[in-house]
């Protein structure tokens, strides 16, 4: 079957055009040919072209919406489609769910938050952003725009930005009426994740959003068979309020979204998109400026190159976002710079294949129901602000811990529940909610020989908001739930015989956890590796303390902090505190040792490279080739080269034929033994891609 555009192209661009039309000079100098020439100079293969912006002002002669006044009827969408196609680019038409124009012209369509505010009152810069409610007639208006675009223009893809609940719950008349029609009730106003009614409301919000997103996807596929459909996939990481769940992701042919964090975040997002995407290639988007609020500062070429190479290392596409000047011009220097960046990444593309599968020792599991914070329970919706949920912080931090340990990992979601056995070790950071289907899948996973690391309160609350008397996975974990420490500074103290796992921490100077721990009882057959030690007093007590500034360990308890249990053919490690959220090397080291303890076999990759070096491994099974990408991404770029790095690869029944360094295909000498190969990388600059051709010796 022929591959579609998005499976073979690795370099993309989007030029933001959030330009209003009150000033006669705005967009007056827009030149579609110059636009396409600049993209060509930057070696762009995929052009995302603005049909409309967050202002809802259209760049084509629309009969449905409002066209930008500065264009005087000119069709700068059609012009760019033709110019980009003429230069061999694939074209994705970009549209934005947000529309200040519709918001201003149809006040009845507006999203209304719990305080009764509209988005221009509370979103980011007051006055700039107008968002309408998906339960209002606005949705039909968007569908009409999409229909006009897809019947009027010859494009390869459609991409919809900003389609999510705008960081809050909507209380508009349309939502109130729909909720009442569907449930006979009024919209809830208090957050409580242990109240099934509140949770059912949140599930309904997710379903309402998925219905609109799915409606757009279905419409696009009906109007233009073969067109790809993508929606902005970044907002899930801001938490439950945006309303994104598994069904949202299923409505995308490939996943893409823009992110502005560091190397660890990019690693995590690439791993997450890579597995969750319905089809390859996922797309990592980021701006050429430090973020979107800056119009002229440009990231260094080294940073842009590192970000583009990191996408390549994960078998993904890199999209850089630029922003147009209000008069319609762009800075040519940026496109010359990006041309240099893509000249560095392009030579690796012939060695990538869309069917390559990432190999990983460790799976990190998360679900979308847990993108909330139980500390919000009982608070009014109006008093809860959106922010990075603890689960996202935990997984992002875990990514850094695993990257530093050179552990190839995969980010797993409910989509992977039938494929858990492919991962020898799976980590569940603290997931505040778990479904019975998930609990059953993990029970079976461990029974069949898997190794599970599970944190803190995971499996005490169902995804329907029903609190359990004991962990749903208590039998697997070998513990019974008792309670939770009152103290929010606690310690993890090794029991005799386990000091090595926690060194240099000891029973007298145990490992600090900034947070409470669950108190549990371990069953007799389970093995306790560490116990909880508490400070002398509750740190919240202002009158009694053991030290004015810190809360030193003072009271040893017999409550287990870490418990190892055998269940069926597998093992489970229960950790009573959120060790995975701690950001110090000391905790990362202990975490990796605990994973090593339950790992059933030696690691896929072992290397003496420094912590800034990430390794990513893909299997191109059809070609009989492993692709090992090595990224040297230090905090300050350009990275200092790393010399004489030893690398060991476990081969799992693959017989090595030849090891090459790409793109030149120069041979790399290696030593082979029963379990794999070992070789030296004499010098590593920012990026190295190696290919190992192999034959299978056993099935």
Smallest gap from Cβ 634 to Zn ion, in A, equals 47
Identify which range of 172-180, 183-191, 227-235, 526-534 contacts Zn ion by CB under 5 A: 172-180
Cβ pair 59, 123 in contact under 8 A: no
Among 124-132, 171-179, 437-445, 672-680, the segment contacting Zn ion (CB under 5 A)? 171-179
In the bound complex, what is the minimum distance in angstroms from residue 200's beta carbon to Zn ion?
Answer: 17
Cα–Cα distance for residue pair 322/625, rounded to 1 Å:
36
Tokens of 340: 């240099």
What binding mask, one character per residue, do residues 7-26 give for Zn ion by CB under 5 A, x or -? --------------------
When the beta carbons of 113 and 315 are compared against Zn ion, the nearer one is 113
Nearest to Zn ion of 134, 316 (CB atom) = 134
User: Cβ of residue 158: shortest distance to Zn ion, in angstroms?
Assistant: 24
Which C-beta is closer to Zn ion: that of 175 or that of 428? 175
Q: Which tokens sit at 512?
A: 């600090």
| Shortest reach from residue 189's CB to Zn ion, in Å | 14
Nearer to Zn ion, 174 or 654 (CB): 174
Of the listed pieces 80-88, 117-125, 175-183, 470-478, which binds Zn ion according to CB under 5 A?
A: 175-183
Closest Cα partner for 426 from 402, 442, 439?
Answer: 442
Which is closer to Zn ion, CB of 170 or CB of 410? 170
Spatial neighbors of 408 by CB under 8 A, at least 6 apart, are 358, 359, 360, 361, 362, 604, 605, 615, 616, 617
CB of 286 to Zn ion, least distance (A): 31
206: region left, alpha or beta (phi > 0 left; psi from -120 to 50 alpha): alpha
435 Ramachandran zone, left/alpha/beta (phi>0; psi -120 to 50): beta
DSSP per residue over 133-172, as a string? -TTSTHHHHHHHHHHHHHHH---SEEEEES-S--SS----
Which residue is associated with the tokens 């996922």? 282
* Pick 117 or 678: Cβ nearer Zn ion: 117
241 touches Zn ion (CB under 5 A): no
Q: Residue 235's closest CA among 161, 175, 171, 285?
A: 161
Q: Which of residues 340-399 bind Zn ion (CB under 5 A)?
A: none
Q: Are 663 and 350 in contact (CB under 8 A)?
A: yes
Sole binder of Zn ion in the list 39, 93, 163, 172 (CB under 5 A): 172
User: By CB under 5 A, is residue 209 in contact with Zn ion?
Assistant: no
Residues 88-127: x where in contact with Zn ion by CB under 5 A, - otherwise, as a string: ----------------------------------------
Separation of alpha carbons 515 and 201, rounded Å:
30
Shortest Cβ distance from residue 593 to Zn ion (Å)? 49
Residue ranges in 120-149 that form contacts with Zn ion under rule CB under 5 A: 133, 135
Helix ranges restricted to H, 153-256: 173-183, 196-223, 246-250
* Contact range with Zn ion by CB under 5 A, out of 152-160, 169-177, 338-346, 568-576: 169-177
How many chain residues are in contact with Zn ion, going by CB under 5 A? 6
Beta bridge partner(s), residue 427: 364, 453
Closest CA to 428 of 623, 615, 225, 580: 580
| Block residue for tokens 């952003």 | 129
Minimum distance from residue 17 beta carbon to Zn ion (Å): 28
Q: How far is the CB of 140 from Zn ion (least distance, A)?
A: 14
Closest CB 124 distance from Zn ion, rounded Å: 20
Long-range contacts of 547-553 (CB under 8 A, 24+ apart): 551/487, 551/489, 553/491, 553/493, 553/508, 553/509, 553/510
In the complex, least distance from residue 433 CB atom to Zn ion, rounded to whole angstroms: 25
Closer Cβ to Zn ion, 169 or 392, answer by number: 169
Residue 170 as a binder of Zn ion (CB under 5 A): the answer is: yes
Choose which of 46, 123, 150, 175 interacts with Zn ion (CB under 5 A): 175
Residue among 132 and 433 whose Cβ is closer to Zn ion: 132
Segment near Zn ion (CB under 5 A); pick from 167-175, 455-463, 473-481, 495-503: 167-175
Tell me whether residue 659 is exposed, middle or buried, using C-beta atoms within 10 angstroms of its C-beta: 0 to 12, 13 to 18, 19 or more: buried
Euclidean distance between CA atoms 237 and 147, whole angstroms: 30
* Least Cβ distance, residue 349 to Zn ion (angstroms): 44
Nearer to Zn ion by Cβ, of 189 and 655: the residue is 189
* Residue 165 C-beta: closest distance to Zn ion, Å: 9
Q: Is 252 exposed, middle or buried (0-12, 13-18, 19+ CB in 10 A)?
A: buried
Shorter beta-carbon distance to Zn ion: residue 111 or 365: 111
Return the number of the residue (114 or 372) whose C-beta is nearest Zn ion. Answer: 114
Dist CA 257 CA 243 (whole Å) = 16
Based on CB atoms, which residue is closest to Zn ion, 109 or 259? 109
Residue 368: beta bridge partners?
Answer: none
Minimum CB separation of residue 456 from Zn ion in Å reads 35
Q: Which residue, 112 or 411, is less far from Zn ion as judged by CB?
A: 112
Q: What minimum distance in Å lies between the beta carbon of 174 and Zn ion? A: 5
What would the x/- binding string for Zn ion be over residues 434 to 473, using CB under 5 A? ----------------------------------------
Judge whether 106 and 132 are in contact, CB under 8 Å. Answer: yes
Nearer to Zn ion, 112 or 518 (CB): 112
Secondary structure class of 548 (helix, strand, coil): coil
Q: What SS3 state is found at 209?
A: helix
The residues binding Zn ion (CB under 5 A) are 133, 135, 170, 172, 174-175
């Amino acid at each position: 079957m022929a591959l579609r555009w998005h499976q073979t192209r690795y370099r993309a661009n989007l030029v933001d055009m959030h330009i209003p039309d009150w000033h006669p000079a705005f967009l007056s100098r827009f030149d579609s040919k110059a636009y396409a020439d600049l993209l060509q100079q930057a070696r762009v293969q995929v052009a995302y072209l603005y049909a409309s912006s967050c202002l809802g002002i259209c760049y084509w002669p629309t009969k449905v919406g409002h066209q930008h006044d500065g264009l005087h009827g000119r069709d700068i969408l059609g012009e760019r489609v033709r110019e980009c196609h003429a230069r061999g680019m694939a074209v994705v038409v970009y549209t934005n769910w947000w529309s200040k124009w519709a918001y201003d012209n149809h006040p009845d369509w507006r999203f209304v938050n719990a305080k009764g505010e509209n988005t221009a009152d509370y979103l980011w810069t007051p006055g700039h952003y107008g968002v309408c409610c998906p339960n209002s007639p606005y949705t039909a208006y968007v569908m009409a725009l999409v229909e006009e675009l897809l019947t009027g223009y010859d494009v390869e893809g459609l991409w919809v930005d900003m389609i999510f609940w705008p960081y809050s719950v909507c209380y508009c008349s349309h939502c109130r009426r729909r909720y009442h029609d569907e449930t006979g009730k009024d919209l809830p106003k208090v957050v409580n994740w242990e109240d099934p009614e509140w949770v059912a409301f949140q599930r309904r919000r997710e379903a309402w959003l998925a219905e609109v997103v799915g409606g757009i996807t279905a419409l696009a596929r009906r109007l233009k068979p073969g067109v790809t459909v993508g929606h902005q996939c970044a907002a899930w990481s801001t938490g439950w309020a945006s309303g994104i769940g598994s069904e949202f992701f299923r409505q995308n042919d490939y996943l893409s979204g823009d992110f502005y964090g560091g190397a660890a975040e990019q690693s995590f997002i690439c791993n997450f998109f890579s597995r969750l995407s319905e089809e390859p290639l996922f797309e990592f988007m980021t701006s050429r400026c430090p973020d979107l609020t800056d119009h002229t500062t440009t990231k260094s070429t080294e940073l842009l190159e590192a970000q583009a190479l990191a996408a390549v290392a994960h078998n993904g596409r890199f999209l850089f976002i630029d922003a147009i000047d209000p008069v319609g011009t762009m800075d040519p220097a940026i496109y010359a710079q990006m041309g240099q960046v893509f000249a560095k990444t392009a030579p690796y593309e012939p060695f990538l294949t869309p069917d390559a599968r990432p190999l990983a020792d460790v799976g990190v599991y998360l679900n979308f129901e847990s993108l909330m914070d139980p500390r919000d329970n009982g608070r009014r919706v109006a008093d809860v602000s959106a922010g990075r949920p603890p689960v996202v912080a935990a997984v992002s931090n875990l990514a850094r811990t695993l990257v530093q340990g050179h552990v190839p990992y995969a980010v797993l979601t409910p989509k992977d529940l039938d494929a858990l056995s492919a991962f020898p070790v799976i980590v569940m950071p603290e997931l505040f909610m778990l479904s019975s289907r998930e609990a059953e899948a993990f029970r079976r996973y461990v029974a069949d020989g898997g190794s599970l690391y599970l944190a803190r309160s995971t499996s005490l609350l169902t995804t329907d908001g029903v609190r359990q008397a004991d962990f749903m996975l208590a039998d697997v974990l070998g513990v019974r739930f008792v309670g939770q420490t009152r103290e929010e500074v606690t310690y993890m103290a090794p029991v005799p015989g386990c000091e090595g796992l926690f060194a240099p921490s000891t029973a007298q100077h145990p490992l600090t956890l900034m947070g409470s721990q669950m108190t549990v009882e371990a069953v007799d057959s389970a093995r306790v590796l560490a116990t909880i030690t508490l400070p002398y007093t509750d740190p919240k007590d202002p009158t009694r303390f053991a030290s004015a500034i810190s809360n030193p360990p003072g009271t040893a308890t017999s409550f287990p902090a870490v418990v190892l249990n055998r269940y069926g053919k597998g093992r489970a490690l229960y950790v009573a505190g959120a060790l995975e959220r701690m950001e110090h090397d000391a905790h990362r080291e202990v975490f990796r040792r605990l994973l090593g303890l339950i790992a059933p076999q030696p690691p896929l990759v072992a290397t003496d490279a420094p912590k800034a070096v990430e390794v990513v491994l893909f299997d191109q099974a059809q070609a009989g080739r492993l692709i090992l990408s090595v990224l040297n991404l230090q905090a300050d770029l350009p990275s200092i080269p790393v010399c004489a790095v030893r690398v060991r690869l476990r081969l799992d029944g693959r017989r090595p034929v030849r090891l090459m360094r790409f793109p030149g295909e120069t041979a790399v000498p290696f030593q082979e033994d029963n379990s794999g190969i070992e070789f030296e990388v004499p010098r590593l600059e920012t990026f190295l891609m190696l290919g190992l051709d192999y034959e299978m010796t056993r099935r």
